[in-house]
């Protein structure tokens, strides 16, 4: 009897080790670096932003004028990223970056860029876009690498909006948008400094890799009373399944040798609602081309699933004033922190910049980090 029990135990243990999978990070929401949006605070549900409207509300598509983007170079960096940039000029770049990350009790490095692939077209009723994004994210707490992500993302998205009611004063529109994305990330989870030193010595080739692919649906609603009052509602990632395939290292990734079965997960729907107004628009004032105001409650479901998060962090306000259709100033508030942005339209290219604070905790003013966004766009 004992032999049978031992045999069954060994069989279970063998099955466990044969089929056990390496741990993987949670799915990463596809994103886009836009100083226009971050300068205001958030992608407001009533904000018409040219080709960037692909990331606000598809119900705005019926009111777009034709714009297209031939490319973009956009960079996002937070304050902990600035110290790490010096490692670019160091003889041993990876070693220098690792030393910087472990130089204090904690570091939260968030660095990402969109472009140069940023092709998009927006016209009345529809918009489409193809974008790439490069990501470097590192979260070090008490000399433990909680999460490290290094990789690339390719996003293709497009949608259609239709005005279902229009009496020349009141307008009601609906919009739908599809997205597909592919992400490849080298990653590390809960690694000690000694573990990361070994990874650096291998040139990061020993890092685990995850290949993620997903397809999603966004939906939007918009009510307009002339230019004076807008009411918007969006549900981003209403249903977005993500398929995650793990690999032990770069060598296995090249040979397509997986480290386990593909896992299926979904992104949490992002439901947002808000109001807006453009009391000053074309030809009303000589100097000011437009002046708009926005108020949103973003990601309504988040405080429900995360009981620790203060609901006030999801409230956002923003205003944008444009002079002579060339110079733009943006001011906003998100997570109870200020956002500031400015932009210049030189006809053949555009420059945009934003600066803001972001909350990493669940309470106001608990753990803030400063962020900067910059973009050189070719939009016509």
Q: Which residues of 141-158 are buried (b: 16+ CB within 10 A; e: fewer)?
A: eeebbebbbbbebbbbbb
Give residue limits of the domains in the chain: 24-379
| Structure tokens that stand for 335 in this block | 């997570």
Is-contact 296 335, C-beta < 8 A? no
As a whole number, mean pLDDT of residues 340-363 equals: 95
Is-contact 229 236, C-beta < 8 A? no
- pTM for the complete prediction? 0.90
Residue 15, pLDDT score: 40
What is the Cα–Cα distance from 22 to 314, expressed in whole angstroms?
A: 34
* Count of C-beta atoms within a 10 Å radius of residue 321: 16
CA 50 to chain centre: 18
Give me the residues paired with residue 352 across strands. Answer: 343, 375
Backbone dihedral angles phi then psi of residue 88, each to the nearest 5 degrees: -60, -35
Q: Average model confidence (pLDDT) for the chain?
A: 91
Residue 143, pLDDT score: 84
CATH class of domain segment(s) 24-379: mainly beta
pLDDT band for position 3 (cuts 50, 70, 90): very low
Give me the residues paired with residue 327 across strands. Answer: 323, 344
Q: Give, rounded to a whole angstrom, the gap between the first and last alpha carbons of the chain.
A: 80
pLDDT in tens, 222-233: 999 998 999 999
pLDDT in tens, 137-189: 999 998 899 999 999 999 999 999 999 999 989 999 999 999 999 999 999 99
**Three-class DSSP category at 348:** coil
**Three-class DSSP category at 325:** coil
Residue 230, pLDDT score: 97
Give me the residues paired with residue 291 across strands. Answer: 280, 321
256 contact partners, CB below 8 Å, separation of at least 6: none
What is the Cα–Cα distance from 248 to 260, expressed in whole angstroms?
A: 9
* H or E element that contains 68: strand 67-78
Residue 1, pLDDT score: 43
Burial class (CB in 10 A: 0-12, 13-18, 19+), 165: exposed
As a whole number, mean pLDDT of residues 301-328 equals: 94
Residue 103, pLDDT score: 84
pLDDT in tens, 249-284: 999 999 999 998 999 999 999 999 999 999 998 878
* Count of C-beta atoms within a 10 Å radius of residue 309: 17
Residue 21, pLDDT score: 58
* H or E element that contains 179: strand 170-192
């Amino acid at each position: 009897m004992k032999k049978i029990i031992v045999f069954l135990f060994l069989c279970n243990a063998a099955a466990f080790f044969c089929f056990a999978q390496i741990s993987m990070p949670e799915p990463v929401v596809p994103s886009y670096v836009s100083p226009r949006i971050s300068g205001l605070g958030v992608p407001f549900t009533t904000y018409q932003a040219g080709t960037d409207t692909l990331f606000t509300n598809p119900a705005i598509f019926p009111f777009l004028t034709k714009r297209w983007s031939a490319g973009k170079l956009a960079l996002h960096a937070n304050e902990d990223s600035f110290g790490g940039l010096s490692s670019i000029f160091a003889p041993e770049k990876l070693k220098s970056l690792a030393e910087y990350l472990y130089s204090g009790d904690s570091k939260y490095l968030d660095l990402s860029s969109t472009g140069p692939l940023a092709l998009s077209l927006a016209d009345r009723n529809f918009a489409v876009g193809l974008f790439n994004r490069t990501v470097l994210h590192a979260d070090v707490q008490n000399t433990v690498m909680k999460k490290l992500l290094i990789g690339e993302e390719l996003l293709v998205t497009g949608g259609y909006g239709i005005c279902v009611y229009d009496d020349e004063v009141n307008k009601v529109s609906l919009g739908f948008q599809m997205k597909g994305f592919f992400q490849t990330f080298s990653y590390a989870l809960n690694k000690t400094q000694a573990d990361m030193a070994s990874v650096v010595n291998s040139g990061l080739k020993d890092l685990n890799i995850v290949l993620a692919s997903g397809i999603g649906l966004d939906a939007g609603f918009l009510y307009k009373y002339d230019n004076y009052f807008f009411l918007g509602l969006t549900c981003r990632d209403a249903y977005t399944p993500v398929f995650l395939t793990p690999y032990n290292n770069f060598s296995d990734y090249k040979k397509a040798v997986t480290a386990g079965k593909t896992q299926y997960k979904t992104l949490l729907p992002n439901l947002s609602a808000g109001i807006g107004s453009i009391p000053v628009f074309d030809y009303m004032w000589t100097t000011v081309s437009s002046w708009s105001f926005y108020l949103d409650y973003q990601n309504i479901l988040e405080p429900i699933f995360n009981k620790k998060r203060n609901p006030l962090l999801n409230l956002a306000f923003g205003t944008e004033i444009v002079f002579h259709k060339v110079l733009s100033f943006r001011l906003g508030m998100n997570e109870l922190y200020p956002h500031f942005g400015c932009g210049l339209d030189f006809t053949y290219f555009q420059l945009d910049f934003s600066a803001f604070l972001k909350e990493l905790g669940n309470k106001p003013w608990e753990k803030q980090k400063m962020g900067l966004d910059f973009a050189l766009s070719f939009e016509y």
